[in-house]
Amino acid sequence: MSSSTINKKFNNVYCEYLHKVRHFCFSYIQDKEICEDITQDVFETLWHRRDSVVLDSTILPYLLVIAKNKCLNALAKSKVKSKYTWRRSNSSKDDINAFALNELSVSKLYSNEIRKIYSEALDSMSPLVRDTYIKIRVEELKYKEVAEKEGVSIKTIERRITIATSILRKYLRDYIKMIVLIITGLHSV
């Protein structure tokens, strides 16, 4: 890929996700300045790795993992500093924020994002297709059962499932490579 297309892709990613990353940092770091520094740091890291990273919609969890680690570092640092100062008012909130960040594992970040795209994909389906898809794939009913219940042919059910799958594939295109790893946990939530 030429460097100009890579830069263009980077710019798209920056515009698309800057506010999201900032929102993420600000949720755990209470100091606005530190939070802004971390946000810019995250994109600086991405900029240096832009040749080796796939710059598509799977990038958000990747960015959030970087942000998570930087936030944890900043929280640990401020904890050290607060030992030397009188400012202790924020420390309990910092502690629970660090705890929450540690709970946020990489796979959780990815599955969160996939779950979100998954529900977007479901939302975009027509009600009939969605209903059928949920009955077959989520509730695991038989094609025949559903066909009989709704008074349509099995062929119709098959066609709806094909449509649903192609919509899902379109939405989750970027994730499909890794989806095998995570999809097992998806329905259980």
Partner 1 sequence: MRKELLLKHIIGDTSNQENCMVDQWLAKSADNRKYYAELKNLLVMETMPQTKASAEELYNFHTRMEQKQERKKSNISRQLIFAYTTAAAALLFAAYILFPKSADKRLNIEELVRVELSDIPNEYIHTIFTEPGTKAKAVLPDGTTVLLNSGSTISYPDKFLGNTREITFSGEGYFNVVSDSLKPMIIKTGHNLDVMVRGTEFNLKTFDSTKIETTLYSGKITLITGTDKKGVISYTEVLPNTKSYVSENGTVQLQKMDKMLNTATRAWTKGRLIFDNTSMSQVIKDLERWHGVNIVVTDNTILKYNITADFNSESIVQIAELIKLSARIDYKYQDKTLYLSGR
- Report if residue 103 touches partner 1, rule: CB under 8 A: yes
Told to check if 177 binds partner 1 by CB under 8 A, we report no
* Size (the chain), residues: 189
Q: In terms of Cα–Cα distance, which of 16, 34, 17 is closest to 25?
A: 34
CB 23 within 8 A of CB 72: no
**With binding defined as CB under 8 A, does residue 181 bind partner 1?**
no
Give Rg (Cα) of the chain. Answer: 22
| Shortest Å, Cβ 79 to partner 1 | 13
* Closest CB to partner 1 among residues 1, 15: 15
Site membership for partner 1, residue 112 (CB under 8 A)? yes
In angstroms, the CA 122 to CA 100 distance is 29
How far apart (Å, rounded) are the C-alpha atoms in residues 91 and 131?
A: 48
Shortest spacing between CB 78 and partner 1, in angstroms: 12
CB of 126 to partner 1, least distance (A): 24
Q: Is the distance from CB of 77 to CB of 29 less than 8 angstroms? A: no
76 contacts partner 1 (rule: CB under 8 A) = no
Binding residue count for partner 1, defined by CB under 8 A: 31
Q: Please identify which residue in 76, 96, 128, 138 interacts with partner 1, judged by CB under 8 A.
A: 96
Q: Which among 84-92, 123-131, 133-141, 156-164 is the span making contact with partner 1, rule CB under 8 A?
A: 84-92
Distance, in Å, from the CA atom of 1 to the CA atom of 123, rounded to the nearest integer, reads 34
State yes or no: residue 15 binds partner 1 (CB under 8 A): yes
